């Protein structure tokens, strides 16, 4: 009984040691890397020094041995189970087999009785400073070598020490995150590049999983309050915690707060692992007596497609963003929506490019007319994305996505620049045409919009009153006070402000009396059935009444028929916009339309 227990403990210790060994091996980031000149020189030297056919720098991975350098052998890896090196690394001092046929352990071994007919093997272990063997520098021959003695083996060990020194050097050369000693983003990209997804989800199970341990601001606050040393220690603790769950799965640190691991196990096991990670970080991670309530976000990206390392990392960071934004974690991109989400990923990845490629994004303009006399009082700029391969991508599709990831700020900046420049061109040709553009909730997170607008107005010498900014109630949802101040600041530049899609949102009317706007645009959902829907016939006049009492002029959106326009004019609505008047049009068409109207 006692004996059995001891056996068990020994087995457990061996398993633990092996998983530490593998973790260290992966930490060296040497597997599947390009050849190294110095390692090659060592194997060539070993061949001539000891007069053997084969010399290898063999790294013993979980199921294979991979050769960082090889002389006399064609293949770059072989199964671990068959290998002599697997035996050699079990002993601290390596292994010499002077004649395999005379050695009971190997005399029936397939590599001895068959090709390459190994008779002689000597393997010197590649030992890390922590005393673990990553693999060997080994020499092999098809002749027995009874003459190979202790002094030769000592020389081989010296060469192994040189190789080990080299592996250390390579490790420290840009692939290692200096805080956690984990491989970094560059290394992850390299690994993904080498794998090239050559074995796309053999078990349907290849996935990259990103764990963002806390919002970046949390870590920065920690640095401010407790210093870098503490924060670095904390990150170490995080990486140790993840390691405990992940065992030998390769782990990378890709941004200040984001860790990524590659998981090739079956989906059920993968889910358990994710649950385990979540559990370890809730309720709090304690470090040096301080509990940290971390808001971790997890994103999973299946990799059955041919995507580049850069795409994987970017997509993962997007998943993390979205999962933070929506408070859903883990966010698994393998649900029924995978197609849609992959498309969304693709869109988000393509958007930055579109923003800098001429003519991929263009503005269309939809006229707004005064209902009383039909005069055009301005136009609304609406963005259009013509992708060279994927064709037209509607704003309803990419704008909401860009809003989720914050890319909308770049979109708004792009639109703003175009709009101001266009207004300036029209002015030069004698046309003072007001143009409205759409801003999103995120544009009110900072003063950037106002600063850019002020700068562009000045640059193009455009009177501010010719520019109008439309924003929805949605922008008010989170920080109404702050948004109110920012809207006010915009208005102080002299530009006009409109409340867009009024009635479509949650319509908390109380914000209306405080919002410094000029115009209210009634959402088209109230307008398009106005002729038939009794409820809308009650609601629209009351909105008009309310808006006018608060001092707003009113635009009805989505006017699709003449009759609706007439009814609205009778109800006292000031302006209209919709297909009945004109569709959004490219610049040239709009100019022709304006000419026709005189």
Minimum distance of Ca ion from residue 271's CB (angstroms)? 42
Of 394, 406, 516, 551, the one binding ligand C2E (CB under 6 A) is: 394
Site string for ligand C2E, 4-23 (x = CB under 6 A): --------------------
Going by C-beta distance under 8 Å and a sequence separation of 6 or more, which residues neighbour residue 390? none
Q: For residue 453, what are its two tokens?
A: 């607008």
Find the angle CA(228)-CA(230)-CA(231) to the nearest 5 degrees. Answer: 65
Taking the complex as a whole, how short is the minimal distance between the CB of residue 366 and ligand C2E, in angstroms? 6
Which residues in the 157-186 window bind ligand C2E by CB under 6 A?
none
Q: Is 239 helix (H, G, I), strand (E, B) or coil?
A: helix
Is 500 among the residues that bind ligand C2E (CB under 6 A)? yes
* Minimum distance, C-beta of residue 22 to ligand C2E, in the bound complex (Å): 49
User: Least separation, in Å, of the C-beta of 360 and ligand C2E?
Assistant: 14
Q: How many CB atoms lie within 10 A of CB 453?
A: 25
Question: Residue 159 or residue 497: which is nearer to Ca ion going by CB?
Answer: 497
Q: In angstroms, what is the minimal distance from the CB of 564 to ligand C2E?
A: 9
If the CB atoms of residues 80 and 474 are measured against ligand C2E, the closer one turns out to be 474
Of 136 and 418, the one with the shorter C-beta distance to ligand C2E is 418
Burial class (CB in 10 A: 0-12, 13-18, 19+), 155: middle
Q: Is 258 in the site for Ca ion (CB under 5 A)?
A: no
Closest-by-Cβ residue to ligand C2E is: 578
Give me the least distance between CB of 208 and Ca ion, in Å please.
38
Report whether the peptide linkage leading into residue 19 is cis, meaning its omega lies within 30 degrees of zero: no
Candidates 125, 309, 558, 576; binder of ligand C2E (CB under 6 A) is: 558
Q: Running DSSP on this structure, what letter comes out for residue 234? A: H
| Site for ligand C2E contains 415 (CB under 6 A) | yes
Nearer to ligand C2E by Cβ, of 130 and 392: the residue is: 392
In DSSP notation, 341-397 reads HHHHHHHHHHHHHHHHSTTTEEEEEEEEEETTT--EEEEEEEEEEEETTTEEE-HHH
Site membership for ligand C2E, residue 578 (CB under 6 A): yes
Among 383, 520, 547, 555, binds ligand C2E (CB under 6 A): 383
Q: Quick check: 504 binds ligand C2E (CB under 6 A)?
A: no
Tell me the closest approach of the beta carbon of residue 592 to ligand C2E, in angstroms: 18
- For the chain, the straight-line distance linking the first and the last C-alpha, in angstroms and rounded, comes to 102
Q: How many residues bind ligand C2E (CB under 6 A)?
A: 22
In the window 422-481, what residues touch ligand C2E (CB under 6 A)?
437-438, 440
Cα–Cα dist 471/454, whole Å: 18
- Size of interface with Ca ion, in residues (CB under 5 A): 5
Q: Is residue 412 involved in binding Ca ion (CB under 5 A)?
A: no
Contact 80, 65 (CB under 8 A): yes
- Judged by CB under 5 A, the stretch of 269-277, 440-448, 495-503, 535-543 that binds Ca ion is 495-503
Q: Which of 417, 371, 422 is nearest to 581 (CA)?
A: 371
Q: Minimum CB separation from Ca ion for residue 524, in Å?
A: 7
Burial 482-514, CB ≥16 within 10 A → b, else e = ebbebbeebbeeebbbbbbbbbbbeeeeeebee
Residues 284-303 that bind ligand C2E (CB under 6 A): none
Q: In the set 500, 544, 564, 578, which binds Ca ion (CB under 5 A)?
A: 500
Q: Is 392 exposed, middle or buried (0-12, 13-18, 19+ CB in 10 A)?
A: exposed
Residue 235 contacts which entry, Ca ion, ligand C2E, none (Cβ below 5-8 A, type-dependent): none
CB of 486 to ligand C2E, least distance (A): 15
> What are the backbone dihedrals phi and psi of residue 24, each rounded to the nearest 5 degrees, phi first?
-65, -45
Buried b (16+ CB within 10 A) or exposed e, 344-374: bbebbebbeebeeeeebbebbbbbbbbbeee
Residue pointed to by tokens 């303009």: 365
Nearer to ligand C2E, 345 or 437 (CB): 437
CA distances from 518 to 17, 39, 297, 515, 548 (A): 71, 73, 41, 9, 10
Residues that bind ligand C2E (CB under 6 A): 366, 382-383, 394-396, 399, 411-412, 415, 437-438, 440, 500-501, 524, 558-560, 578-579, 584
Q: Which residues bind Ca ion (CB under 5 A)?
A: 438, 470, 500-501, 557
């Amino acid at each position: 009984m006692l004996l059995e227990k001891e056996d068990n403990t020994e087995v457990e210790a061996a398993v633990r040691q092996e998983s530490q060994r593998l973790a260290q091996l992966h930490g060296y980031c040497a597997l599947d890397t390009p050849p190294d000149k110095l390692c090659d020189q060592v194997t060539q030297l070993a061949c001539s020094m000891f007069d053997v056919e084969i010399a290898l720098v063999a790294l013993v991975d979980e199921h294979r041995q991979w050769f960082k350098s090889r002389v006399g052998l064609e293949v770059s890896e072989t199964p671990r189970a068959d290998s002599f090196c697997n035996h050699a690394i079990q002993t601290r001092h390596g292994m010499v087999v002077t004649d395999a046929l005379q050695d009971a352990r190997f005399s029936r071994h397939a590599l001895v009785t068959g090709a390459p007919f190994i008779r002689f093997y000597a393997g010197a272990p590649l030992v890390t400073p922590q005393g673990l063997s990553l693999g060997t520098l080994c020499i092999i021959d098809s002749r027995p070598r009874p003459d190979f003695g202790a002094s030769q083996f000592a020389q081989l060990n010296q060469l192994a020490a040189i190789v080990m020194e080299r592996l250390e050097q390579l490790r420290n050369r840009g692939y290692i995150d200096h805080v956690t000693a984990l491989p970094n983003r560059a290394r992850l990209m390299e690994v993904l590049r080498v794998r090239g997804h050559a074995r796309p989800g053999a078990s349907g199970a290849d996935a990259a999983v990103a764990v963002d341990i806390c919002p970046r601001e949390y870590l920065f606050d920690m640095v401010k309050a407790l210093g870098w040393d503490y924060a670095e220690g904390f990150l170490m603790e995080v990486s140790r915690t993840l390691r405990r769950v992940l065992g030998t799965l390769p782990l990378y640190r890709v941004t200040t707060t984001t860790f990524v691991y590659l998981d090739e196990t079956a989906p059920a096991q993968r889910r358990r692992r994710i649950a385990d990670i979540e559990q370890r970080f809730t309720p709090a991670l304690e470090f040096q007596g301080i509990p940290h309530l971390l808001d971790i976000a997890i994103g999973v990206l299946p990799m059955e497609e041919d995507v580049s390392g850069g795409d994987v990392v970017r997509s993962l960071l997007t998943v993390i963003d979205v999962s933070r934004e929506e408070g859903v974690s883990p966010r698994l991109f393998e649900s029924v929506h995978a197609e849609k989400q992959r498309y969304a990923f693709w869109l988000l990845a393509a958007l930055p490019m579109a923003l800098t490629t001429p003519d991929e994004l263009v503005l269309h303009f939809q006229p707004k007319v005064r209902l009383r006399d039909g005069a055009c009082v301005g136009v609304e700029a609406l963005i259009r994305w013509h992708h060279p391969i994927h064709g037209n991508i509607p704003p309803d599709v990419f704008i909401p996505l860009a809003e989720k990831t914050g890319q909308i700020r770049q979109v708004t900046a792009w639109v703003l620049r175009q709009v101001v420049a266009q207004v300036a061109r029209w002015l030069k040709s004698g046309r003072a045409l007001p143009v409205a553009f759409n801003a999103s909730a995120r544009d009110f997170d900072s003063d950037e919009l106002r600063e850019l607008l002020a700068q562009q107005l000045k640059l193009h010498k455009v009177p501010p009153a010719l520019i109008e900014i439309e924003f929805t109630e949605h922008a008010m949802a989170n920080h109404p006070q702050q948004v109110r101040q920012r809207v006010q600041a915009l208005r102080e530049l002299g530009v006009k402000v409109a409340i867009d899609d009024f009635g479509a949102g949650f319509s908390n009317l109380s914000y209306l009396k405080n919002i410094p706007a000029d115009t209210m645009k009634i959402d088209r959902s109230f307008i398009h059935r106005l002729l038939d829907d009794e409820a809308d016939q009650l609601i629209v006049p009351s909105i008009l009444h309310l808006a006018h009492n608060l001092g707003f002029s009113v635009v009805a959106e989505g006017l699709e028929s003449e009759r609706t326009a007439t009814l609205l004019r009778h109800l006292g609505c000031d302006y209209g916009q919709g297909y009945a008047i004109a569709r959004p049009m490219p610049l040239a068409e709009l100019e022709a339309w304006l000419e026709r109207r005189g």
